[in-house]
Chains A and B, each alone.
Chain A
Amino acid sequence: MAIIRPAGDFDRTYPQDMALLRQPWHYGLLALALVAAYTMPLWGNAYLVSTAHRIAYTVIAVQGLNLLTGYTGQISLGQAAFMMVGGYISALLVKHAGLSFFLALPLAAVGTGIVGLLFGLPSLRVKGFYLAMATLAAQFIIPWLSRHIFTDYLGGSSGAIEVPVPQIGGFRITEVNHFLYISLTVLLITTVAVYNISRTRLGRALVSIRDNDLAAELLGVNLFTYKLRAFFIAAMLAGVAGALKAHSQRGVGTEFGYSLTDSIFFLGMLVIGGLGTNLGPFLGVAFVLLLEDLADLVGAGLAAQLPPEFAASLLTSFRPIFFGLMLMLFLIYEPRGLAHRWQILKAAWRLRPFSK
């Protein structure tokens, strides 16, 4: 991503060149944003806090997908299934092994990463549409397994198990207010990690695979290991997101979603936000989740005006219609997503009054 800077703004030292935040006011802005986010339970209402939590863990899952699809160019239709794996691993570890949630979370990440590796194996030989099919298979096989094997542990045909709430010492984290602190902190860690992956050797190798895999191989990028690394990290982040979701919803399983539709939504959020940009997941997830809530509101408002036999179908149909339309419009008119729009806006602000 070419960074457009005003004339005369040069990096003179290596630390300057490598800095994530270049200007002093960047630090100020970041501190302000963090304070605003972390104090949200104090000033926000219940809807705002729960939405912020939902956005936070969804962003983590989409960040993983961004590494795999946005940077490496491997289409994955299985991110929601990997989230479920993470949720299950974390839940079972806390429930049956008696581990603390804060130990179970990284273990869930690694465990999900290994499952992700399994389904990433076909990526050695196939790409594009074929790989989409392999991950589609994951999206069908994993939820099926959760309902049919080890029914005592995984919930069986009811498709759900109860998940204990995390504890620190004797303090039980039951409220979404407190959960927001955890998800924000995890999001902060994953964001720094993803940001650094994208601009170091690993990230550049992944981008070269996306742009031309044969050329990348000739340049010495080992396709197989790098693709597997991308799959591993993507599944890991999905696992983290799944664990956060499962513990805050106090349940995990097919009852709680994790369907093909969710996977498609993640891809859509990524495209709407901007494929292969670090800002993309944030913008896309916030945009789509808020749009969904708007769709629910509009649907509910319309349903109240109409006879009850139409109300039920209106309520469920607005979400896919809004999302589908938005995704199609973005693909036609702004395939580079909201992140690109943001860049254009920034450039226009700098070039004012000479922006077109």
Chain B
Amino acid sequence: MNWPLVPQQLITGILNGGVIGLIALGIVLIYKSSEVFNFAHGHMVMWGAFLTWWFAGAAETGSELLNLPLWAAVMGALAVSVLLGLLIERMALRPMTGQPLLSIILMTLGLAQLLEGLASIAFGVEPKSNFPAPFSPGDVLVIPFPGAFGDAIRLKYTLVVAFGVALLGALLLIWFFNRTRTGLAMRATSENHEVAQSVGINVSRVFALSWALAGMVATLGGVLMAILTGVSLNLATVVLVAFPAILLGGLESLGGAVLGGVLVGLSQALVQAARPIEVRNSAEIAPYILLLIVLIIRPEGLFGQKRIERV
């Protein structure tokens, strides 16, 4: 290990992980209400980022008319992504109710391909570097830390703010699921559709609502990712690390998803502090190695429930 780099990477990893955790929450959200593993979530994240970029006035798409400030662009993207979420639920997932797991997973995979193709038609295939950034790259928070590289930890404002927003979003969601009627209705629906219906929960409305909500969470995550890394079609693959995150945390647990995200972020950042170049380059697969280890040692994740199955 390259010890002087460790403190810096530790903090960066946690901050990055918060954003991954928020994206993972979108997947857990869908799972908790409808037991669907949404492999298209990465593409919804990408769409959120692209929509924001488009609303913010991108020269290439010829939408200088809109040229909105970032917050307004995010609002616009959120509105569109709610519609997108509702549309996906109505057109793709509603007909799949009661189908086996494999079919539903394949449906979301097909959806992911469709969203990818549509995004490349709508926004073009080139990566966009002109995402509206709230801070310039030079805005750095310097925390003195003796022993670290350069005796200080440097944090980009962007990263700190992204983490803050992600954490706020995560807390809001956790509160929503534990304290509001609608959130509790979603959890009940996830347990058993028929029982939920018999106590007066409108199950189809719960599904629609959870997809709309997932669309919003995805867009928020997409904006945060875009601020950190820029927008490209590749974003959908990058945020697939949210899947290891939810497995680490356990599928049922919202807090676990956030913690899983942080662990994923840490694993990606800490390998970069290692000395051998092979290990340093392994940031993109570190979460998946972690995933394999967890699957073998503790398949239900850190906070998941162990389910007993009957024949």
Contact = CB atoms under 8 A, between A and B. Distances in A.
A130 B278 contact: no
Contact of A136 (B243, B278, B289): B243
A268 interface: yes
Contacts of B105: 75, 129, 132
Given A125-B299, A130-B299, A332-B96, A324 B110 contact: yes
Interface stretch (B112-120, B129-137, B224-232): B112-120
A250 B248 CA distance: 41
Given A320-B113, A324-B111, A148 B282 contact: yes
Interface stretch (B69-77, B168-176, B191-199, B290-298): B290-298
A69 B289 contact: no
B266 to A, nearest CB: 18
A327 B125 contact: no
Contacts of A133: 243-244, 247, 291, 295
A316 interface: yes
Given A125-B296, A130-B299, A317-B118, A331 B309 contact: no
A73 B103 CA distance: 11
Nearest to B277: A148
Interface string B92-126: 10011001011101110111111111101100110
Among all A-B residue pairs, the 7 with the closest Cβ atoms: A324-B114, A321-B117, A327-B110, A324-B113, A320-B117, A137-B288, A317-B120
B288 A327 contact: no
B289 A137 contact: yes
Given A133-B243, A312-B125, A122 B295 contact: yes
Interface in A107-124: 121-122
A322 B105 CA distance: 18
A317 B109 contact: no
B117 A319 contact: yes
Contacts of B311: 212, 214-215, 218
Contacts, number: 140
B285 interface: yes
Contacts of B151: none
| Interface SS, A side | helix
A69 B281 CA distance: 33
A322 B237 CA distance: 20
A264 B292 contact: no
A348 interface: no
A121 B110 CA distance: 27
B295 A126 contact: yes
A3 interface: no
Contact of B102 (A73, A134, A212, A321): A73
Given A313-B125, A317-B118, A328-B110, 16 more contacts: A125-B296, A125-B299, A129-B101, A134-B291, A140-B288, A141-B289, A148-B282, A261-B113, A268-B113, A309-B60, A320-B114, A320-B116, A321-B113, A321-B121, A327-B106, A331-B103
A144 interface: yes
Contacts of A331: 96, 99, 103, 106-107, 110
A318 interface: yes
Most central of A128, A137, A148, A319 by chain B CB within 10 Å: A137
A125 B247 CA distance: 14
Most central of B116, B118, B284, B310 by chain A CB within 10 Å: B116
A271 B95 contact: no
A352 B149 CA distance: 82
B62 to A, nearest CB: 10
A291 interface: no
Interface residues of B, number: 47
Contacts of B240: 136
A328 B299 contact: no
A144 B282 contact: yes
B145 to A, nearest CB: 31
Contact of A323 (B101, B107, B110): B110
A144 B109 contact: no
A96 B67 CA distance: 59
A42 B105 CA distance: 43
B87 to A, nearest CB: 13
A148 B124 contact: no
B37 interface: yes
Given A126-B295, A323-B113, A332-B95, A214 B285 contact: no
Given A134-B295, A320-B116, A260 B282 contact: no
Contacts of A264: 109, 112-113
A234 to B, nearest CB: 15
A137 B289 CA distance: 7
A144 B237 CA distance: 14
A271 B96 contact: no
Most central of A125, A316, A328 by chain B CB within 10 Å: A328
Contact of B118 (A212, A316, A321, A328): A321
A18 B309 CA distance: 37
A106 interface: no
A228 B121 CA distance: 42
Interface in B32-66: 37, 60
Contact of A268 (B106, B115, B243, B284): B106
A171 to B, nearest CB: 41
A40 interface: no
Interface string A133-162: 110110011001000110000000000000
29 contacts: A75-B102, A75-B105, A122-B296, A126-B295, A129-B37, A134-B292, A136-B288, A137-B288, A137-B289, A137-B291, A140-B284, A140-B285, A141-B289, A144-B284, A144-B285, A148-B278, A218-B311, A267-B106, A267-B109, A268-B110, A271-B106, A275-B102, A310-B124, A312-B124, A317-B118, A321-B118, A323-B113, A324-B113, A324-B116
